[in-house]
Structure 1
Amino acid sequence: MDAPSDSSPASRLKLAQAGEPVANAEHDERGLGGDELERVLRSAVGGDARAWERLVANFAPRIHGLVRAHVADSDLAMEIVQSTFTTVATKLAEYVESGRFESWIFRIAMNRLRDEMRRRRRHAKPMDQGHFDSAQRVGGSNSSEEPGEGFDRAIAADRLTAALSQLNSEDREIVDLRHFGGMSFKELAAYFEEPLGTLLARHHRALRKLRGILESRGHDG
């Protein structure tokens, strides 16, 4: 694909709105970080379509995982991912190179997700059913598994959904971003604007709470 001839938001939006680059994006095996990420960002701002595709390929699967942790409807999840990258495309030139692109893009995704959750609540449409699919992906799936194993997996996913819903919003966010969005602890520290040690302690406490809820529900069940 040829790079756009200009750096206008419209040029970058073509890839964000097309659907195919995001829908078929795989994890970028080369990864993006540090100086390389900044170089790709500068190229994308300058209208380089290949640089934009690398950003999408690197971050779309992680954002999709985060969204699917909350949204059962795959079409709606993809819509939120697309909306996130549309916002990124229009605001990329405004991004200040501070080494925190990961926290910036995930904040956009979380804001878009919250907007959709508020909209759904107003229309009384439950959204928080996505952990069934997420738990299956995290735990892996095997097409040759016995029917009983699939049932056990569904029960475990249902328990996880219920337990996560009992976490407060701060604990839920850190668990979602880490375990469904795939953010590193360094990225999380930048996202929450907290020292790494504080972030690690918060994450540990959140998992301890989640484990306690799961164990309690196991005894109750």
Structure 2
Amino acid sequence: MDEKDTRLAYNNQCTLGTETGPQTIIVRQVIGSAEEQKVLDIHVVVPDPKPAIEQIVDVFVKDVEIDCVDVIHNKVIVRGEFEIKAIYVAYLPNQPVHAVEIKHFKWTQDIEIPGARRGMDADANVIVEFVDYDVDEHCRAYKYKYGDNDCDGNCKDHHHHGHDHDCDDDCDDDCDDHDDCDDNGHHHHHHHRWTREFDVSVVLKITAKVMADRQVQIGGNATMPTQPKG
């Protein structure tokens, strides 16, 4: 019985309504389901023909797809792709708006589902739970994103961006290693560099379920089996 739908298979060519002994039905049963988060950090570089970034307006993920779902022993492997698009103000005199895209960014996630076996059917779906971007703190796009807070606030709020240096280094009035100083050696609190690079953080939530056909007998003294067919 190859059909995937649930239907009746009658023993001894029984007709409906004849209560003469047990009947077997094929039931599609969910073996298990689970969900996982997929966390991705993607480095994006604006390609050369395009202008550099003055300010990032928005970064979003679109065209999220699942390409294939494979069932292996106690696991489901879900593979898919999505597109990242960033809208930005260009570092040009008239500040035109440009876009940069990464198409067909591939991802793979394994999801543990006890009882899953090769040959079983599986379904999966994916949603985007979170998208954000980070830029180097010495470029202008960082200032646009976070504003010109006082240094203590900046350091406390943004230490998770991986910058380990002390707040004082950023707040000194004298000229340090940053390219933010004018001819007189005064350290500017503003950020003057354009950039061509940024990082995108994406969190996906992927859910999967595994199904198998089971034979169930109804009527007579038969009881429901606990083992999947095959």
TM-score range normalised by the length of the shorter chain: under 0.3
Q: TM-score, normalised by structure 2?
A: 0.19
Query: Greater RCO between the two (CA within 8 Å, min separation 6)?
Result: 2
Question: Which structure: greater strand fraction?
Answer: 2
Question: Which structure: greater helix fraction?
Answer: 1
